[in-house]
Amino acid sequence: IALGLSSVNYLLRFAKWELALGWLDIRGGSGGLHPPTELRLPRSLQIYLAGLSMSVTPGKVGEVLRSVLLRASNGVPFTRTAPVVVADRLSDLIALVILALIGIADFSEYLPHVLAALVLVLAGVVVLGSPRLFGGFLNLWAKLPVVGGLAERARGLVDSSAVLLRLRYLVVLSAISVVGWGLECVGYWLILTAFPGVEASLQLCVFLWSATTLIGALSFLPGGLGATEGSLGVLVARFAIGVGESVAVASTLLIRLCTLWYGELVGAVALALFMRDPDLKAAAREADAAEEPPPKT
């Protein structure tokens, strides 16, 4: 059941991807080394799922692989779609804060920490969603030695970020994320209460899973590894009835298998299928041939 709930969460997050591509008017593709083709739904789903293979990266920033694959498949410029991943992560963080606040009623001592996380997330939304602030940040970045040249390449992110982080769009993305992450909270509750002698309310599990996932995300450790597991194991042993060390460890490992590592497996399969696509290989060969210099006479 937990795997099924995680699968529904991934489909809901795919819906966010599709909405964002529509808002950026990317359904037909544009630009690139070869003429763009129509982005069909199965291809879009394959690209989205392939991005899950990069979940074990700091802050899941590796999921911008989707933009790389979309560039290769449909010729859409990387800078047009990379902000989709940013908006996805910010809306996920907002959803996790909302869920943590829903479950925090009996754990008011943690309220300042959750509110601090909310302030950080909203600050990111304000900066990245404002062309003036984001552009100013890039201007400062451009003055740095060694990495300053990357700022010019990143300027293409400004317009797409401003579109996706508009309030009405961010509300929709965050609402979908609340439902998706809420399903994972239910999955954790089902896993935890399946152990004999354990008593834990759904509200408690919503708080535990959302808060510890938030800790892992803000730690910027790859996939939140260590931060999520450690905090979840400690908190569930403290607050749930009948949870000893062995149950805390086992339930934590099981929910991570059903979420993070399940997603990694699905993503790896999708990426392998994408790379084996004969049409994609043909397009890549055409692009390479177009870039080769003409023979000398």
Predicted confidence (pLDDT) per residue in 278-288, tens digit: 766 665 555 44
Percent over 70 (pLDDT), the chain: 87
Q: How far apart are CA 204 and CA 239, in angstroms?
A: 8
Tell whether the model's pLDDT for residue 160 goes beyond 90.
no
259 or 31: whose pLDDT is higher?
259
Q: What angle do CA 216, 218, 224 make, to 5 degrees?
A: 25
Distance between CA atoms of 164 and 169, rounded to whole angstroms? Answer: 6
pLDDT of residue 143 exceeding 50, the answer is yes
pLDDT at 234: 92
The pLDDT of residue 56: 83
Q: What ranges make up the beta strands (E) of 97-204?
A: none
Give the tens place of pLDDT for each residue, 12-65.
999 999 999 989 888 654 444 444 457 888 889 999 999 998 888 776 777 888
pLDDT at site 108: 79
DSSP code string of 187-206:
HHHHHHHTSTT-B--HHHHH
The mean-pLDDT minimum among 28-32, 132-136, 208-212 falls in 28-32
CA distance to 58, 120, 247, per residue, from 219 (Å): 8, 13, 25
Mean pLDDT of the chain: 84
Tokens standing for residue 212: 């510890």
Q: Which two tokens stand for residue 16?
A: 């966010």
- Show Cβ contacts of residue 18 under 8 Å, excluding neighbours closer than 6 positions: 41, 44
Q: How far apart are CA 27 and CA 5, in angstroms?
A: 28
Is the pLDDT assigned to residue 81 strictly greater than 90?
Answer: no
pTM of the complete model? 0.86
Query: How open is the CA angle 208-13-1, to the nearest 5 degrees?
Result: 55
- For the record, the structure tokens of 115 come out as 């509110």
Average pLDDT estimate for 239-246: 89
Identity of residue 104:
I
Average of per-residue pLDDT across 200-214: 93
For the cut 80, the answer to whether the pLDDT of residue 175 exceeds it is: yes
**Residues sharing a CB contact under 8 Å with residue 255, sequence separation 6 or more, in sequence order:** 2, 184, 187, 188, 191, 192, 209, 232
Q: Binning pLDDT at 50, 70 and 90, where does residue 292 land? A: very low
SS3 content of the chain, % helix, strand, coil (to 5): 75, 0, 20
Q: Report how far residue 206's alpha carbon sits from residue 12's, in angstroms, rounded to the nearest whole number.
A: 18
Q: How confident is the model at residue 226 (pLDDT cuts 50, 70, 90)?
A: confident
- What sign has the CA pseudo-torsion 275, 277, 281, 283? negative
Strand partners, 99: none
Mean pLDDT to the nearest integer, 144-165? 75
Q: How confident is the model at residue 202 (pLDDT cuts 50, 70, 90)?
A: very high
Q: What is the pLDDT of residue 16?
A: 96
The answer to whether residue 105 scores a pLDDT higher than 80 is no
Stretch 100-112: mean pLDDT, rounded? 83
How long, in residues, is the chain?
297
